A and B are shown apart, each in its own frame.
Chain A
Amino acid sequence: MITVSHVHKTFPLKNETFVALGDVSLDVADNEFVTIVGPSGCGKTTLMNILAGLEFPTSGQALVSDSPITGPGPDRGVIFQQYALFPWLTVRKNVEFGLRTAGVPRDERRERAQHFIDLVGLHDFADSLPRTLSGGMKQRCAIARAYAVNPSILLMDEPFGAVDALTRVRLQEQLLQTWSQEKRTVVFITHDVDEAVFLANRVVVMAARPGRIVEIVDVDLPYPRTEELRLSPAFTALRNRVWSAVYHQEPVS
């Protein structure tokens, strides 16, 4: 369970302080799939970095299972906006990285890595270097790497931002499939309103200057989500609601 309460985050600029997050509060339940949408610069990555333990709130609190976040931890897996694969390691070695730091013995490491490589459909590329993979494949490798350490929380920052629309749809379906097989809490950041609604239990809409949450939309559509559902009126209605929350934001005075 993630609890964000009254988090402010400011960055010092030359002669002023920039408010990246102003009073953000959000609860995410266990095994919930939450997506965060908002315009560029509204503090999505900043919020994710705070949850990842890579940055700390200026004031307010971020808690995981009721204890404050003091740094990165094996309970939280992160998938970065830029894939951040280690280019000198093969897909397999990348996926094994977190298992090695956790001191998992060799054989078990192999086995678990293989399981997640298969899960994201990269078995034919297990021993390839990242430079030989396409963007979408790199992304799936990053997903496998995060899944392998078996975190109860997955933080994903615009993971499908760099792939084409077709691959994107496929990756979304694959992600949901993986998630339904291996349930965990997911916080998923995106620019894309369709993607946000398609994936989520709840869509959190953020606005910029200062970064804040303007609306939370519950998506009570059943899983598994299909192409059919994507074209249904219920989906369209929700999508339109999120769309207007994102694109017709009242500026604060």
Chain B
Amino acid sequence: MTVVQVDTEVTTGSPPTRERRRRGVPKTVWNLLSVLLGLGVWWGFSLTGFDIPAPPEVAGRGWELIADGTLADDVLASLGRVLAGFVLGVALAVPVGFLMGWYGVARGLLEPWVQFFRTIPPLAIIPLAIVLMGIGETPKVFVIFLASFLACVIATFQGVVNVDKTLINAARVLGARDGTIFTRVVVPASTPFILVGMRVGLGSSWATLVAAELIAAQQGLGYRMQSAQLYYDLPTIFVGLISIGVLGLLMDRLLLLAERRLTNWQERR
């Protein structure tokens, strides 16, 4: 439970109203101020001789890329890969995590492998994946799949193992058999863990994607930055970086929203 709470604590967007009133200025104002300040610092650096493009230049390049459709194509290509790998990873991780948490045998058989592959950064699998699967979509999706699978399987497993024994006993004395206990106690009780696992998985999927595209791709945000590098086209690289950050943030917020809705029963301190 603490894992979940710590995580949500850090990323909580809006504090309880009570706190907001007490502080006076809403947090979003500070957030906005901080962003403007950051842009100012960036601009400042670009004026004082650092070899980086100024914000208007990046914005202009961004507009060009949007206008000729390149950015949309790249974003779609990247998102497609991430979603495919992520969905596959989560779809496999949840049942496997449940098996590991629920059956001692499954745990004994699977845990060494999961723990072993967990210590290998997914990026380190890229060379192997390219040799075995060529340079098409398969190796990229596979690496992303692996990244999200490993993050999510551990979380699901932890969730199942941490289900309060008294809740299971309470269900048993209320007449529930194994099947019912599983669907009506174990699944809801581990949902917060699974959702945190999904967020971590999405984060690492996104990180892995860009690296996978840097190596071999014809389209995608990573590819765009890679080819811009050849022409010292810094504004394009900046547009790519900002797009990656914004998209990652958006997806994380989306999952956070889902998490809040699905687990608002949790006691939060």
Report B23 CB to chain A, min CB distance, Å.
25
Cα of A160 to Cα of B264 in the assembled complex, Å: 27
Binds A, one of B12-20, B27-35, B168-176: B168-176
Report B177 CB to chain A, min CB distance, Å.
8
Cβ-defined contact, B188 with A72, below 8 A? no
Cα of A72 to Cα of B176 in the assembled complex, Å: 9
Q: Tell me if A86 counts as interface (CB < 8 A to partner B).
A: yes
Interface residues on B, range: 20 to 34
Closest to B267 in A: A131
Cα of A80 to Cα of B264 in the assembled complex, Å: 24
Q: Tell me if A28 counts as interface (CB < 8 A to partner B).
A: no
Report B214 CB to chain A, min CB distance, Å.
42
Cβ-defined contact, A88 with B180, below 8 A? no
Cα of A144 to Cα of B112 in the assembled complex, Å: 45
Say yes or no: A87-B266 contact (C-beta < 8 A), given A80-B169, A80-B170, A101-B180: yes
Cβ-defined contact, A52 with B171, below 8 A? no
Report B191 CB to chain A, min CB distance, Å.
8
Kindly list chain B residues whose C-beta atoms are within 8 Å of the C-beta of A176: none
Kindly list chain A residues whose C-beta atoms are within 8 Å of the C-beta of B263: 88
Closest to B189 in A: A88
- Main SS class of interface, A: loop
Cα of A39 to Cα of B188 in the assembled complex, Å: 36
Say yes or no: A86-B167 contact (C-beta < 8 A), given A101-B175, A102-B175, A131-B266: yes
Q: Tell me if B185 counts as interface (CB < 8 A to partner A).
A: yes
Q: Tell me if A212 counts as interface (CB < 8 A to partner B).
A: no
Report B229 CB to chain A, min CB distance, Å.
49
Say yes or no: A97-B172 contact (C-beta < 8 A), given A87-B266, A131-B266: no
Q: Tell me if A136 counts as interface (CB < 8 A to partner B).
A: no
Say yes or no: A80-B166 contact (C-beta < 8 A), given A88-B188, A97-B171: yes
Interface residues on A, range: 20 to 34
Closest to B185 in A: A86
Cβ-defined contact, B265 with A101, below 8 A? no
Report A217 CB to chain B, min CB distance, Å.
29
Cβ-defined contact, B170 with A86, below 8 A? yes
Report B262 CB to chain A, min CB distance, Å.
9
Q: Tell me if A29 counts as interface (CB < 8 A to partner B).
A: no
Report B165 CB to chain A, min CB distance, Å.
10
Kindly list chain B residues whose C-beta atoms are within 8 Å of the C-beta of A97: 171, 174, 176, 184
Mask of B226-269 contacts with A, CB within 8 angstroms, 1/0: 00000000000000000000000000000000000001111100
Kindly list chain A residues whose C-beta atoms are within 8 Å of the C-beta of B188: 86, 88
Kindly list chain A residues whose C-beta atoms are within 8 Å of the C-beta of B171: 86, 97, 101
Cα of A85 to Cα of B169 in the assembled complex, Å: 11
Cα of A126 to Cα of B194 in the assembled complex, Å: 29
Closest to A53 in B: B173
Kindly list chain A residues whose C-beta atoms are within 8 Å of the C-beta of B177: 101
Cβ-defined contact, A72 with B267, below 8 A? no
Residues facing A in B200-234 (CB within 8 A) are none
Say yes or no: A54-B172 contact (C-beta < 8 A), given A84-B166, A86-B188: yes
Closest to A49 in B: B169
Cα of A195 to Cα of B174 in the assembled complex, Å: 27
Cβ-defined contact, A72 with B166, below 8 A? no
Cβ-defined contact, A87 with B267, below 8 A? yes
Closest to B265 in A: A88
17 new A-B contacts at CB < 8 Å, known A77-B173, A84-B167: A52-B169, A53-B173, A72-B172, A72-B175, A74-B175, A82-B166, A84-B166, A86-B167, A89-B265, A97-B184, A98-B174, A98-B175, A101-B171, A129-B264, A130-B265, A145-B174, A149-B174
Q: Can you list 16 A-B contacts (CB < 8 A)?
A: A54-B169, A72-B172, A72-B173, A72-B175, A84-B166, A86-B167, A86-B188, A87-B267, A88-B189, A88-B265, A97-B171, A101-B175, A101-B180, A102-B175, A131-B265, A131-B266
Binding site for B on A (CB under 8 A): 52-54, 71-74, 76-78, 80, 82, 84-89, 97-98, 101-102, 129-131, 145, 149
List the 10 shortest-distance A-B pairs measured between CB atoms, nearest first.
Answer: A98-B174, A84-B170, A101-B175, A88-B265, A78-B173, A72-B173, A84-B166, A131-B267, A88-B188, A72-B172
